[in-house]
Amino acid sequence: MNGDPVGPGTVVRYINTGTVGKVTEIKTDEEGIWALMDSTGLYYKVETLVVTDASELKVKAETAKTASEAEEYMRRYGSAGPDQVDIGQVTGGG
């Protein structure tokens, strides 16, 4: 999109959602050129990607949580189990 070449190893941002990742593969078909982004495992048309620097990857990595951190969060802030939820006022939408 910004005229920079996109290839394997290039750090890119998808303009529609802001998703950042590293390109792992490029493929071409009858619809155009596609880049596979490692962070999502999805292909994006290269016209919808903006080349960015690797510092954007680090920000995302710092916010990632481990499974044990997620469990601790659930213990601390809780998720009411099915036996703890009052569904008396829940009605169907039909």
1-24: pLDDT as tens digits: 566 788 999 999 999 998 999 999
User: Does residue 54 sit within a domain?
Assistant: yes
State the residue range of the domain holding 19: 11-78
C-alpha of 12 from chain center: 12
Amino acid at 3: G
User: Does residue 88 sit within a domain?
Assistant: no
User: Does residue 3 sit within a domain?
Assistant: no
Summarize pLDDT for 39-88 with one digit per residue, the tens. 899 999 999 999 998 888 865 555 667 788 878 877 777 655 555 656 56
pTM over 0.75: no
Provide the number of structural domains found in the chain: 1
User: Does residue 93 sit within a domain?
Assistant: no
Amino acid at 25: E
User: Does residue 5 sit within a domain?
Assistant: no
User: Does residue 41 sit within a domain?
Assistant: yes
In DSSP terms, 20 is beta-bridged to 13
